[in-house]
């Protein structure tokens, strides 16, 4: 069930890097109904501009306090408006929305999580849910430079950091390190990925080359977030329909459903 909270109070704010911060909200019903891969649509300002809500992946759920957390990268108007808020302020929130990751498909298998930039957000919540059921969890977290990384906290022992400029962790792109992992894995891996489309396209290619099940979470620009405006088409590979809609059919898709642009 999709819940609408016209005045959901921010319970905490954490400034993680100069460009990334997190916000927490307390809502027992929303927290209980949220699954990894789902997102919230948030009105970033009480004023008419920007008109549309912005989508934010649910990055963590804290069952002990009934809180949900989102990570926000300051990009444009909406994310900057949220950046001016803190504990005690309220926002209009719709959610949880979208098709989640299939967590069960990693039961007793090796789960490989590939996150690019702010695409790491839904993978944090996913990792929390995978750790008790997967045989192992391996997170590849890539960013252009060290300043775009977030601290992984208790997920650090499971995480391999990769930066394109070599300023932290290993040097290169996450997919450079996914390839050898797939070549040497004997634990029936399952891949989950979220990040920019060029990264997802390469993950899709590697998964298909190695015959490994793979789920991709797309960051397609959305307007309504609930299947009304038809503003989030994703080219489909399946012959029965030309497009999926990212907000209702996704944002999580099986890799073989999606046709990325050439
Ligand atoms: C399912 C989903 C989950 C998301 N999760 C997160 C999250 O966890 N954390 C987070 O920080 N952001 C997330 N986003 C992106 C977020 O919804 C906003 O798009 C982002 O915050 C920019 O909004 P803005 O108002 O700040 O910038 P805008 O003023 O809307 O945009 C600034 C510039 O960036 C471009 N742009 C914005 N968003 C996108 C996009 N998604 N794809 C391509 N171009 C874009 C715009 O065209 C414009 O040029 C997610 C998006 C989706 C669809
Ligand atoms: S964002 Fe409106 S239909 Fe997907």
d(CA 234, CA 193): 16
Q: Is residue 235 part of a domain?
A: yes
Rounded CA gap, 250 and 218, in Å?
7
The total number of structural domains that make up the chain = 2
Give residue-wise pLDDT tens across range 6-63: 999 999 999 999 999 999 999 999 999 999 999 999 999 888 777 889 999 999 999 9
Element (H, E) at 92: strand 90-97
Q: Are residues 63 and 189 in the same domain?
A: no
Task: Enter the tokens of residue 27.
Answer: 């809502």
Structural domain that includes position 9: 3-97
Same domain? For 203 and 250 the reply is yes
At which of 97, 131, 150 does a domain end?
A: 97
Share of the chain above pLDDT 90, in %: 92
Instruction: Please check whether residues 234 and 140 belong to one and the same domain.
Output: yes
The answer to whether position 262 is within a domain reads no
Ligand 1 binding pocket mutation candidate from 19, 39, 56 (most atoms within 8 A of CB):
56
- 42 vs 184, higher pLDDT: 42
C-alpha–C-alpha distance, residues 63 and 80, integer Å:
28
**140 lies in the same domain as 26:** no
Choose one of 53, 54, 73 to mutate for the ligand 1 pocket test, by most ligand atoms within 8 angstroms of C-beta: 54
Tell whether ligand 1 has an atom less than 6 A from the beta carbon of residue 75: yes
Same domain, 91 and 110: no
The model's pTM is 0.95
243 is a domain residue: yes
In a domain, 112, yes or no: yes
Report the nearest-CA residue for atom 7 of ligand 1: 56
pLDDT of 184 higher than 90 = no
Does ligand 2 have an atom closer than 6 angstroms to the CB of 245? Answer: yes
Candidates 208, 185, 184, 183; CA nearest to 193 is 208
């Amino acid at each position: 069930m999709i819940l609408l909270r016209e005045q959901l109070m921010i319970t905490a704010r954490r400034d993680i890097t100069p460009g990334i911060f997190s916000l927490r909200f307390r809502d027992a019903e929303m927290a209980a109904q949220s699954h990894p891969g789902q997102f919230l649509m948030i009105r970033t300002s009480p004023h008419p501009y920007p008109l549309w809500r912005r989508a934010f992946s649910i990055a963590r759920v804290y069952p002990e306090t009934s809180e949900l957390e989102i990570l926000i990268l300051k990009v444009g108007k909406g994310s900057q408006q949220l950046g001016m808020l803190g504990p005690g302020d309220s926002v209009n929130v719709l959610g949880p929305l979208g098709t989640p990751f299939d967590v069960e498909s990693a039961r007793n298998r090796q789960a490989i999580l590939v996150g690019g930039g702010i695409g790491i957000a839904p993978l944090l919540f996913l990792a929390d849910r995978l750790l008790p059921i997967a045989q192992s969890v391996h997170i590849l977290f890539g960013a252009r430079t060290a300043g775009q990384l977030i601290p992984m906290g208790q997920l650090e022992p499971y995480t391999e950091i990769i930066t394109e400029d070599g300023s932290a962790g290993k040097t290169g792109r996450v997919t450079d390190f996914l390839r050898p992992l797939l070549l040497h894995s004997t634990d029936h891996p399952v891949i989950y990925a979220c990040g920019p489309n060029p990264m997802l396209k390469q993950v899709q290619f590697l998964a298909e080359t190695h015959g490994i099940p793979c789920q991709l979470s797309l960051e397609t620009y959305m307007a309504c977030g609930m299947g009304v405006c038809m503003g989030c088409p994703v080219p489909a590979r399946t012959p029965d329909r030309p497009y999926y809609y990212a907000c209702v059919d996704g944002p999580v898709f099986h890799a073989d459903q999606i046709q990325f642009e050439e």
